[in-house]
Each structure stands twice: as structure tokens, then as C-alpha cells.
Amino acid sequence: MHMLTLEKFEEASEVVKQVTQETKLVYSDYFSKSTGNKVYLKPENMQVTGAYKIRGAYYKISTLSEEERAKGLITASAGNHAQGVAYAAKAFGAKAVIVMPTTTPLIKVERTKSYGAEVILHGDVYDEACAHAYELAEKHGYTFIHPFDDPAVATGQGTIAMEIIKELPLVDYVLVPIGGGGLATGVSTLVKLLNPNIKVIGVEPEGANCMQASILNGEVMTLPTVNTIADGTAVKRPGEKIFPYIQKNVDEIITVKDEELVVAFLDMVENHKMIVENSGLLTVAALKHLKFQNKKVVSILSGGNMDVITMASVVQNGLIARDRIFTVSVLLPDKPGELVRVAAVIAKHQGNVIKLEHNQFVSTNRTAAVELKITLEAFGTEHKQEIMKALEEEGYRPKLKMASL
């Protein structure tokens, strides 16, 4: 049985160098100032497959015999492990079959196919895809590469911790995303082997907190449902083989809401010019939940594979959440010059009009009132409140509406 020992971690660190990019820590002035800590980002979204999963997949496949690789490899994944296995299988000249949930973003499906893998879409969540992959492995004799419940895979993922500590030996806290638990297992175990004083905090989506539930119950638990925009960590049941490592080495688990991930995406794009997928943003969103200051903190950005449609939606919702975009409704008489008056008030206070909707049928008496809905761009909450106050002072009695572009 493969054990997570220092010797194995050292071996894995040398092996994964054959396929990984160097992802040096990025100091974040923005997050450091906003949290009172010294925050560093570990940008695994910059890996060749767009995520850290290449580490565990490649190391695991490197430990297989020629016979096991010759049978063909199969796995189940919401996307990032899929690409890692597909890439590693191609490097070793092995066939790869990947079962992915039907809800997997298109970019992850296409990228997986681009590495030469056969992709099968099955089930709504990872757990359903995984069950189907086991059936196919049994039927065709494929070698199964588990995305997280495998000590060898976890060892490969843990090589991230080796790099973090080499670059920042005095790190106080490492924040790691948790889906099934493979990354957290590898990182936390190696961190504690190298320096037991370093704290490891796992971060899960509030709507898919299977590891937190399992820790609280003292045994692996299965959630009835999962609901989160962090598709890479939408797992109902964590790994059983790796669970004891999590119990022993992860100091705390934090959960974050989907809305926090939306805002975190905007922060990363604007302040670091980085595309990070929702699961990778878990450790960024968790920064504001930390109950300490003046510590050196590393947030692991696990991946950056986000399709453009999702990206556009997240940006829009992030702007709305930050009051950078809002919609206001005013009633005004249906006569020439009224629209100009409203526009003048907004222009005076530097509001930028994005969209106008004019509804003449809000009242049976059009001369008394028609509704004008205005979608505006503002600098933030204070600026929004300034514009609302100015409209009130002009007698328009503005009402906020659900904003949309």
C-alpha cells in the first residue's frame, strides 16, 4: 500500500517536474491590505492543463506497471482531473477514457478531448459519473485512476506544499480547496511532516461541504444533494482512504457561499489579471473569514478552467454585487423634456447610463406617470447612494429594481 511518507513526497516532487510549470508564489498587495495578513497566491491555474490535477494524475500513472497502463486508463472527473489523466496518459502512450458529468463546462470537455482521451458524459454530478466509470472499468478491464481517494494521487498533489515551503519557509497558514479531499490530504500531510506548526485550513463551498460534515460526524458522510457554482468541488462524498489524513492534518474547515466566489472572481481579474475558476477561488473568498492578522498566508488557486459563458455571468453578477451596476425605476410625466431632466441629474453625479426601459402602461393616466427604468454603472455603493439621493432631491422617488444587463 502506498503511504504518504516524506520519501514518497520527495520522489513525487522530482517526477512531476517532468510535466509541471513552475508556479511561483504571487504576493497580493490587494488581499494583504484588505485582510491584515501577508497574502500569497499559489497560481496552479497556470499549469499546462489549467489546474494542479496534472500532479497527482502523472505521479499515479508513473507508479503503474506497463501491464496496468496497457489495459487502458479510466477515471471520472468534473474536468480538471480529466485533463490531468488525459495529458499524463498521452505522455505514457496509454489509452484514456474519461467519464464526466453532463453539467461539466464545455471548455473542460473539449480540452480533455484535445489530449486524445475518449470522453463519456454521464450523470448530473461527479458521484454519478464515478459510479459509471467503475462499471466501465469492470466491463473492459481498464485501470481506474481515482481523482482523490488514492494515496498515490494525493502524494502527487501534495508536491504543491513542497514548493510553497521551499519558497516561503516561514509560512503560517496554507489555505487549500476541498472537493473530495485529495489535494487537502497531500498538502496537509506534507505540511505537517515538514513543519507541524504550520496550520492548514480547508475550504469548501457551503452547498457541497461533504468533508466538513464528515469531520463533524467522525466518519465519511454522503450529502443528499450538492448545489454550488464551484463545479470542481461539487462532491457528495469525500474519499474514505484519505479521510484519516484529513482528520489528522487539517486544522480547520471553512465554508464559503457562492456569492462570495462571484465577488472573488472580480477581485482576481481586476487586481491580479488572473482567470481562476470558482473552485480555485474558494481559498480567496475564505480570506475574509480568517480570525487572525499579521500572519503569512498562502491561498492555493487550484485551477483556471472556466468557460466564457460562465465567466460573463460571473462578471455581471460580481459587478451587481459590488453595486458597480444597478437598476433604478422612476415615475415621470409623459411629456417632452422629462427624460433629459433625469439624464441631467445622473450625468451631474457621474453616473453612466447602460440601458433605458420606458413603460407607458404602468398607469392608466399616462400624462400623470410613465415608468423609466435606468440601468447604471457606478463606482460602488457610496456612488450608487449618491445618485439615488440626487434623484430623490429632484422629486423622482426612485426605487431600486433587480439589475440585469
Active site residues: 53, 302
The dihedrals phi and psi of 208, each to the nearest 5 degrees, come to -150, 55
User: If phi over 0 gives left and psi between -120 and 50 gives alpha, with beta otherwise, what is residue 181?
Assistant: left
The dihedrals phi and psi of 186, each to the nearest 5 degrees, come to -65, -50
Collect all residues with Cβ–Cβ distance below 8 Å to 78 and sequence separation of at least 6.
Answer: 100, 101, 104, 108, 126, 129, 179, 231, 232, 234
Instruction: Retrieve residue 271's grid coordinates.
Output: 487586481
If DSSP states are collapsed to H, E and C, what string results for the chain? CCCCCHHHHHHHHHHHCCCCCCCCCEEEHHHHHHHCCEEEEEEHHHCCCCECCHHHHHHHHHCCCHHHHHCCEEEECCCHHHHHHHHHHHHCCCCEEEEECCCCCHHHHHHHHHCCCEEEECCCCHHHHHHHHHHHHHHHCCEECCCCCCHHHHHHHHHHHHHHHHHCCCCCEEEEECCCCHHHHHHHHHHHHHCCCCEEEEEEEHHHCHHHHHHHHCCCCCCCCCCCCCHHHCCCCCCCCCHHHHHHHCCEEEEECHHHHHHHHHHHHHHHCCCCCCHHHHHHHHHHHCCCCCCEEEEEECECCCCHHHHHHHHHHHHHHCCCEEEEEEEECCCCCHHHHHHHHHHHCCCEEEEEEEECCCCCCCCCCEEEEEEEECCCHHHHHHHHHHHHHCCCCCEEECCCC
CA-based R_g, the chain, Å: 25
